[in-house]
């Protein structure tokens, strides 16, 4: 996984619980914790960090990933500032992840393997996103979607449906009333 994801997680944890918590997490997970956005690190380190957090807090892993995703989004956006219209529409942003932003991510690093986030506009107030990945981190995706609503100040609610074959997850995203 790209270092930027680790950076985003670190930032989220530090923001929510302070730098000391991040130190403790690293210790608990047994990872050395020096991550640069340019680097790539084993997925297992991310899972170890999330596992350690679950152990330390008692919050289950999907919930943790949702929280992390929600707070990590601004860090990711900061990496591709020029591709994001902060005054635009949150649905436009979410619909551009697959064809624009994750594409750009792959251009910068051909080894990066971001997930498929297919977008379908059901109506003006409903966007359907289908997540497909070998990593199985739908909760992270859900957090990132909610975080997008926060960032655009256009709050959204997400209804999650695990796909029939387990390899995909469908999110129905609505504008919060």
Partner 1 sequence: MTDPTVARLERRLARERSARVEAERIAERGMRELYLANQDLDLLVAARTRDLEHERFVAQQASQSRSQFLAALSRQVRSPLNGVLGTLELLEGQVTNDQAQAWVTSATRSAEDLLRLFSRLLLFVQLDDDGATDADNSPTELDKVGTQVRERWARPAITHGKLLIVDDLTAPGTAVSEPPGRLGHLLDELIENAIVHADPGPVRVELREADGEVTIEVTDDGPGIADVDQLLDPSIDDPSGRLQSLGMGYPLIRRLTDQLNATVAIDVAATGGTTVRVTLAAIG
144: helix, coil or strand?
A: helix
Residue 9 in contact with ligand HEM, rule: CB under 6 A: no
Name the DSSP class of 167.
S
Residues 112-131, one symbol each (x = binds ligand HEM by CB under 6 A, - = not), give xxxx-x-----------x--
Among 29, 67, 68, 144, binds ligand HEM (CB under 6 A): 144
Taken in order 85, 86, 90, 93, is the CA torsion positive or negative? positive
Least distance in Å: CB of 123 to ligand HEM? 19
Instruction: Write the DSSP string, 52-121.
Output: HHHHHH---HHHHHHHHHHHHHHHHHHHTGGG--TTS-HHHHHHHIIIIIHHHHHHH-TT--PPEEEEEE
**Residue placing its CB nearer to ligand HEM in the complex, 24 or 47:** 47
Burial of 81 (0-12, 13-18, 19+ CB in 10 A): exposed
Residue 42 in contact with partner 1, rule: CB under 8 A: no
Residue 39 in contact with partner 1, rule: CB under 8 A: yes
Residue 33 in contact with partner 1, rule: CB under 8 A: yes
- C-alpha 141/C-alpha 73 separation (Å) is 10
Residue 79 in contact with ligand HEM, rule: CB under 6 A: yes
**Residue placing its CB nearer to partner 1 in the complex, 11 or 118:** 11
Among 49, 64, 137, 146, binds ligand HEM (CB under 6 A): 137
Phi then psi for 163, rounded to 5 degrees?
-65, 165
Residue 25 in contact with ligand HEM, rule: CB under 6 A: no
Residue 151 in contact with ligand HEM, rule: CB under 6 A: no
Among 61, 133, 154, 168, binds ligand HEM (CB under 6 A): 133
Binding residues for partner 1, rule: CB under 8 A, are 19-20, 23, 32-39
């Amino acid at each position: 996984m790209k270092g930027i994801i680790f950076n985003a997680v670190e930032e989220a944890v530090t923001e929510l619980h302070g730098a000391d918590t991040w130190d403790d997490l690293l210790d608990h997970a047994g990872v050395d914790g020096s991550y640069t956005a340019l680097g790539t690190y084993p997925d297992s380190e991310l899972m170890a960090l999330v596992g350690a957090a679950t152990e330390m807090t008692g919050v289950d892993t999907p919930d943790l990933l949702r929280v992390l995703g929600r707070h990590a989004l601004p860090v990711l956006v900061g990496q591709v500032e020029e591709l994001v219209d902060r005054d635009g529409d949150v649905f436009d942003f979410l619909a551009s992840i697959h064809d624009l932003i994750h594409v750009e991510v792959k251009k910068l690093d051909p080894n990066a393997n971001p997930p498929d986030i297919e977008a379908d506009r059901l109506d003006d107030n409903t966007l359907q996103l289908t997540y497909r990945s070998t990593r199985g981190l739908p909760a992270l995706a859900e957090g990132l979607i909610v975080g997008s609503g926060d960032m655009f100040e256009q709050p959204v609610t997400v209804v999650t449906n695990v796909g029939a074959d387990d390899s995909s997850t469908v999110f129905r995203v609505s504008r919060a009333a």
